[in-house]
Amino acid sequence: MTPELIERMIKLGLLEEDLEESFIRGTGPGGQKINKTSSTVVLKHLPTGTEVRCQLGRSQTQNRVAARQELCDRIEKERSAVAQAEQQEREKKRRQTRKRPRGVKEKILKSKHHRSDTKKTRGSVKRWD
């Protein structure tokens, strides 16, 4: 593994002890080499339950590195999605509770007065007997 990948995993808090790694036989194009060797890496991060399958190359070593990079990508994406959802919730709450601008408030009051005047002109119906 490259030092950059190790640093990235440390930054994300991914420990090797939290990873469950297994090797399975590959599928798809590649012929006999792919079908007979267990070069596909299945990497599972136990705390989050995130699972990655990697079969980019014929080498198990390359696939191990690629699987860890893919796992880092997915966990970063999940965390940023959660953070973005929290930010949107805060913004929504802020928009709901802020005071209305004076122009908007005056416009609402004007329409309410107009509606009130319309209703005042209505009177009870008198019968002509």
CATH number at residue 33: 3.30.160.20
Indicate whether 10 belongs to any domain: yes
| Nearest-angstrom CA–CA distance, 79 and 83 | 6
Indicate whether 128 belongs to any domain: no
Query: How far does Cα 105 stand from its chain's mean position?
Result: 37
| Nearest-angstrom CA–CA distance, 62 and 71 | 14
Q: Give the per-residue pLDDT at 74.
A: 95
Instruction: Determine the structural domain holding residue 87 and report its residue range.
Output: 3-112
Indicate whether 127 belongs to any domain: no
The token duo for 116 is 């009130």
Mean pLDDT by 10 residues, the chain (129 residues): 89 91 83 80 92 89 93 94 96 93 96 94 77
Could you give the number of structural domains in the chain? 1
Q: Give the per-residue pLDDT at 127.
A: 78
Q: Give the per-residue pLDDT at 129.
A: 67
End-to-end CA distance of the chain: 101
Query: How far does Cα 77 stand from its chain's mean position?
Result: 7
Stated pTM of the model: 0.70
